[in-house]
Amino acid sequence: MSEKWFYVQGNEKIGPVEKSEMEALFKKGSLLKDSYVWTSGMENWTLLQEVKTFSYLFSEVAPPEIPIISPKKKFDWNSIDKKGQIFSIKIGPDRGTEEKILDQWFSIDQIIRFAEEKRVNEKTLIMALGMEEFLPLGECPLTKKIFPKIKQEDLAPKEKRKNERSPVVARVFFESEQKFLEGICINLSEGGMKILINDFPGTLGNEISMNVHKENPTFSFVAKGEIVSVSEDKTGFGIKFNDLSQESRSTIKSILKNQ
CB-side neighbour CA atoms (13 Å) of 216: 10
Q: Residues 131-136: contacts with CB within 8 Å, 24+ apart?
A: 131/75, 131/167, 132/166, 132/215, 133/164, 133/165, 133/166, 133/167, 133/215, 134/88, 134/90, 134/165, 134/166, 134/167, 135/165, 136/93
Which helix (H) or strand (E) segment holds residue 39: the answer is: strand 36-39
Q: What pTM, to 2 d.p., does this model score? A: 0.58
Does 16 sit behind a cis peptide bond, omega within 30 degrees of 0 on the bond before it? Answer: yes
The per-residue pLDDT for range 218-241, each reduced to its tens digit, is 677 888 889 999 888 888 889 999
C-alpha to C-alpha distances, 225 to 205, 212, 238, nearest whole angstrom? 9, 13, 10
User: Residue 49, SS3?
Assistant: helix
Which ranges in the chain are annotated with CATH 2.40.10.220? 169-258
Average pLDDT over every residue of 166-173: 71
C-alpha to C-alpha distances, 37 to 41, 80, 103, 237, 239, nearest whole angstrom? 12, 60, 59, 51, 47
Average pLDDT over every residue of 189-205: 85
The per-residue pLDDT for range 18-67, each reduced to its tens digit, is 998 998 888 888 888 888 899 988 888 898 988 989 888 876 554 444 44
Which ranges in the chain are annotated with CATH 3.30.1490.40? 4-59
CB 208 within 8 A of CB 239: yes
Q: How far is 133 from 222, CA to CA, in rounded Å?
A: 21
Q: How far is 12 from 17, CA to CA, in rounded Å?
A: 14
Average pLDDT over every residue of 84-93: 88
CB 111 within 8 A of CB 137: yes
Q: Please give the CATH topology (third level) of the domain spanning 169-258.
A: Thrombin, subunit H (2.40.10)
pLDDT of residue 39: 92
120 or 162: which leads in pLDDT: 120
Average pLDDT over every residue of 93-105: 84
Q: How far is 226 from 220, CA to CA, in rounded Å?
A: 20
Domain 4-59: CATH superfamily, name plus number: GYF domain (3.30.1490.40)
